[in-house]
Amino acid sequence: MSGNNTGGKALEEGAVRTLPAERITVALIPKAAGDLQELVDRTGLSKTDIVNRAITLYEFFEAQLQVGNDLIIRDGKTGEKQLVRFL
């Protein structure tokens, strides 16, 4: 056990500390609000989980595009491929 103390609880060697969540307020356009609710209904995830995943995915997509990679979706049944573009 390390000598670190967090609120009376010592952290074990190599333990990961949880950072406090950053809170933001976002005004969604009606289409985005509807899409968010559709995802909540379909996936059972919370709005917070969906927004966190969306930001992480967008960061990944943007990083791939920045280095010159293409984003391609392949239809699992037909094998047809489509290039994804962000406007």
- Those residues whose C-beta lies under 8 Å from the C-beta of residue 71, and which sit 6 or more positions away, are 61, 64, 65, 83, 84
- This model's pTM is above 0.85: no
What is the tens place of the pLDDT at every residue in 19-32?
A: 888 999 999 999 99
Between 30-43 and 47-66, two packed helices, what is the crossing angle to 10 degrees? 110
> Domain span at residue 78?
25-84
Residue matched to tokens 């996936």: 43
pLDDT in tens, 43-71: 999 999 999 999 999 999 999 999 999 99
Number of domain units in the chain: 1
- Whether 12 is covered by a domain: the verdict is no
Domain assignment present for residue 10? The answer is no
Residue 75 located in a structural domain? yes
In a domain, 66, yes or no: yes
What pLDDT, on a 0 to 100 scale, did the predictor assign at position 39? 98
User: In DSSP terms, which residues pair with 9 in a beta bridge?
Assistant: 6
Domain membership of residue 4 (yes or no) is no
pLDDT at 84: 94
The structure tokens listed for 13 are 């060697």
- Kindly list the distances between the CA atom of residue 75 and the CA atoms of 61, 70, 71, 80, in Å, as whole numbers in the listed order: 19, 16, 13, 5
